[in-house]
Chains A and B, each alone.
Chain A
Amino acid sequence: MSRRRDLLGVVPFFVFVGIFLIIPTLVVAIGSFLGTDNRVTFDNVTALADGYIVQAFIRSILLSAVTAILGAVIGALLGYAVVTAGPDSTVRRVVTSACGVLAQFGGVTLAFAFMATIGLSGFVTLFLRDSLGVDIFAGGVWLFDLPGLVLVYTYFQIPLMVIVFLPALDGIRPQWREATESLGGSTWYYWRHVAGPLLAPAFLGSTLLLFANAFSAYATAAALVSQGSPIVPLQIRSALTSEVLLGRENIGKAMALGMVVVVAVVMSLYAALQRRTSRWLD
């Protein structure tokens, strides 16, 4: 009896999550398999094989992979630099707060910041043109297309890497390095045989998280790209807002389901690597 009463305590939470998280997910999942007449159909899912949707998925995956790898490598380097400064240092505090803002805040602000930097009348663009005679847009305005997205996404991937990789770097004990050195190991040997293998799972896991992050991002692309829909989130937007073609909404749901599948696969790999890391880095 008292157990049943205990369960009442978690009812509000589960009701809320049910309405605003579980039902929307089901709407997407079920809607992907419904036609305009509300009958079960595989048309939406097979429509994913359309050339332009496949292209969008390939571009999204490519964009996410490239920016994840760039962000992971540079972010790990910055993370390591910060860790050498000690846990209570000002450098660390400033860098982690700045990273927190830049990783989470993203979106429209970042798009604007880059327009002001290397947009048509941006600060750097004008400086390069007027002072050095270099026109960065000689081959076309790439900022508002895929190359621009790579640049801006990398800008928020690096800070995210710092945040998610710092705990792993903190887990590395200085004693391990001293042990290597007292046994005659060089710096290179230490990184190759001690720190490298220990950090590898955490590094790979963080890279996967970065991939999922870029793959899910929408706001930056929406604010930056005004013409065409090169990546999946923008394709979903046009499917949702399309008033010309009816029945596109369920294709949008199918694309959304496709995104969930990709992110879910990546995140479960991440969770597996995370478990492996936490076995000895805690």
Chain B
Amino acid sequence: MVGLVRRRARRQRIMRWVVVGVLGIVFLLPLFALLEFTTRGAGGKLSWDTWRVLFDWQQLSETYPVLWTGMKASFWLMLLSVTLTLALLVPTVVWVRLRLPRLRRLVEFVCLLPLTIPAIVLVVGLAPVYAWVVYFIGGSSLTLTFAYTILALPFAYRAIDTGLSAIDVRTLAEAARSLGAGWATVMWRVVLPNIRSAVLSAAFLTVALVLGEFTIASLLNRDNLQVAINQLGKSSATISFAVSLAALVLAFVLLFLLSFAGRGRRRHRRERTTS
């Protein structure tokens, strides 16, 4: 039996390295090609000129104003969308758990709805709504925040809901209330610190989504990073390929850090319960 288990473990290890290795190469190839393309100098020599421009922001904003506008817009969109998503979702989900448990199914259904409605369909319906948005608060690219918050709902909801399931919100809130805390204090000082990693993961997922979003921005004629990259791709491919790669790597680093944030917290709790 022991021999069998050991033999199986070895077989699985070989299988794992073959599968991960082969697919790893297949998946890294296009990314490597991006890097190779952006470092292709005159006469087939290696050249880092493109990347130097990318990190020299002064020169970047002068040479590629489109890209610069898009990057700035995406940066602000990231901040605004994360803020709006969290401000809208966290209190609502907590409140529903505490006071209106019967609405829980409805809120969940609404939050997961954007998964069923393709972004391209949402754009079709959003166009008239945005005509009103422009009428009231202007046509800045930052108004995309509203649409992005909708797109982020399913991911953010799941993250926050999972976080809340792990703690006993009701007991915590009742305890705080009985000690004289108001609802704001309960929210800010009791619930939020307990679901910190869930909120963090909701925020990161929203950031990744905003960084990669193209459909809505492009069809509503707004600027963001992806729209700028696509536009530049036609005239100066090298720089837009470089920005693509940089954005991809940035998103990977974010999600990789996130995988530690989630685990760190779980381990922390396990240690506490065993001690």
Contacts and interface: CB of A to CB of B under 8 A. Distances in A.
Interface of A: 6-7, 9-10, 12-14, 16-17, 19-21, 23-28, 31, 74, 77-78, 81-82, 84-85, 88, 91, 93-98, 100-102, 104-110, 112-117, 122-124, 155, 158-159, 178, 181-182, 187, 212, 215-216, 218-219, 222-223, 233, 236-237, 240, 252-253, 256-257, 259-260, 263-264, 267
Contacts of B256: 93-94, 97
Given A97-B255, A215-B118, A256-B120, A240 B219 contact: yes
Contacts of A223: 214, 230, 233
A212 B256 CA distance: 26
Contacts of B233: 108, 112, 223
Nearest to A94: B256
Contacts of A107: 212-215, 226
A207 B265 CA distance: 32
B104 to A, nearest CB: 11
A247 to B, nearest CB: 15
Contacts of A187: 8
Contacts of B113: 21
Q: Which applies to chain B's interface (DSSP): helix, strand, loop or mixed? A: helix
Contact of B214 (A97, A113, A215, A219): A219
Contacts of A93: 256, 259-260
The 8 closest A-B pairs by CB, nearest first: A24-B125, A216-B118, A113-B30, A219-B214, A117-B33, A81-B19, A123-B33, A27-B125
Contacts of A240: 123-124, 127, 219
Contacts of B153: 17, 21
A122 B124 contact: no
Contacts of A215: 118
Given A106-B212, A222-B214, A78 B92 contact: no
A117 B30 contact: yes
A84 B14 CA distance: 11
Given A10-B96, A97-B255, A101-B208, A25 B117 contact: yes
Interface residues of B, number: 82
B118 A78 contact: no
A89 B189 CA distance: 34
Contacts of A12: 88, 92
B255 A100 contact: yes
A27 B129 contact: yes
A28 B120 CA distance: 11
B209 interface: yes
B208 A13 contact: no
A171 B95 CA distance: 31
A216 B241 CA distance: 24
Contacts of B214: 107-108, 218-219, 222-223
Contacts of A10: 92, 95-96, 100, 103, 107
A34 to B, nearest CB: 12
Contacts of B19: 77-78, 81
29 contacts: A6-B95, A13-B107, A16-B149, A20-B126, A21-B114, A24-B124, A24-B126, A84-B13, A88-B263, A98-B27, A98-B252, A101-B208, A105-B247, A108-B233, A112-B229, A122-B37, A123-B29, A123-B33, A124-B29, A155-B27, A187-B8, A212-B116, A218-B119, A223-B214, A233-B120, A236-B124, A240-B124, A259-B118, A260-B121
